[in-house]
Amino acid sequence: MRRKLIAGNWKMNLGLNESGVLTRKILGKVNPGLLKKTDILICPPFVSLALVSGIIKDSGIKLGAQNLHYEKDGAYTGEISASMLKSAGCEYVIVGHSERRKYFHETNNLVNKKVLQALSNDLKVIVCVGETLQEREDDIFESIITEQTEVALKDIPSEKMIDIVIAYEPVWAIGTGLNAAPEQVSHIHALIGNTAEDIFDKNAADNLRILYGGSVNKDNAKEILSACGVDGALIGGASLKPDDFIFIAEQASDIN
């Protein structure tokens, strides 16, 4: 069985002090037994990474960033490189979140470049894929998700697939309070697993963790996390509430 991963995406919320406060609250609620069974990852804004890294040091909680630039370094004013994230203590980075695809026009090819840069700096990557409401209604969501997955994984050496996590996040479910039904989630997770198997092999697909994201909260987490093929969750809004976030991680741990 794959280890569950509960990841919190804080998005553009919380300044330095508030990030420290939230991190300490999360830390205070995590018991060591929980981390034996489930990975817990928090992804604060860039400016809080180093501070949060210091607070969670040796706790077992993992640190991730929400984005990176696809080049190694250079004249890219305002951007953040993979090695900078590493130096701030990150183990993970989220790539291709739908908010970046929508507001910053990130394409599948750009996502792939970011994935490759992250991997070459030994960062683990959470690649986000998911269809818009229009794409679901037009019944093209399977081909959209297959293409997003195929392009994101292009040119990845198979031995690096162990550092990839995919998050299925239907765009219409993010921050809306709407959820995909468990059977819809399982269907897409199987599609993503089959796509990975077609590109690589069964072993890579068997080891690939696939998260669900989209309005996961303390009330619906158990049902979603119990669905076939769900290896955890990427959580936005509820990750800012320490009680709820840890409660969701405990639900994941109970299912293991």
Shortest reach from residue 214's CB to ligand PEP, in Å = 5
Q: Is 232 in the site for ligand PEP (CB under 6 A)?
A: no
Cβ(29)–Cβ(242) under 8 Å? yes
Closest CB to ligand PEP among residues 117, 220: 220
Instruction: Calculate the alpha carbon distances from 30 to 142, 181, 217 in Å.
Output: 37, 29, 18
Of the residues 69, 97, 99, 250, which is catalytic? 97
Residue 130 binds to ligand PEP (criterion: CB under 6 A): no
The answer to whether 169 is a known catalytic residue is yes
To ligand PEP, the closest distance from the beta carbon of 41 in angstroms equals 12
Q: Which is nearer to ligand PEP, 200 or 245 (CB)?
A: 245
Q: How far is the CB of 224 from ligand PEP (least distance, A)?
A: 11
Classify the phi-psi angles of 180: left when phi > 0, otherwise alpha if psi is within -120 to 50, otherwise beta: beta
69 is catalytic: no
Q: Please give the residue whose beta carbon sits closest to ligand PEP in the complex.
A: 236
Q: Report the distance separating Cα 49 and Cα 119, nearest Å.
A: 19
Residue that the structure tokens 């919320």 belong to: 13
Task: Assess contact for 213 and 128: CB atoms under 8 A.
Answer: yes
How many Å apart are CA 100 and CA 106, to the nearest integer? 6
Q: Exactly one of 106, 131, 135, 169 is catalytic; which is it?
A: 169
Element (H, E) at 117: helix 108-120
Q: Which of 156, 196, 234, 248 binds ligand PEP (CB under 6 A)?
A: 234
Site for ligand PEP in 54-93 (CB under 6 A): none
Q: Indicate the residue type of 2.
A: R
| DSSP code at position 162 | G
- What's the CA gap between 13 and 215, in Å, rounded? 17
User: Rule CB under 6 A: is residue 170 a binding residue for ligand PEP?
Assistant: no
Q: How many residues bind ligand PEP (CB under 6 A)?
A: 12
Q: Which of 85, 90, 153, 174 binds ligand PEP (CB under 6 A)?
A: 174
Contacting residues for 84 by C-beta, under 8 A, at least 6 apart = none
Residues that bind ligand PEP (CB under 6 A): 9, 169, 174-175, 213-216, 234-237
Catalytic residues: 97, 169
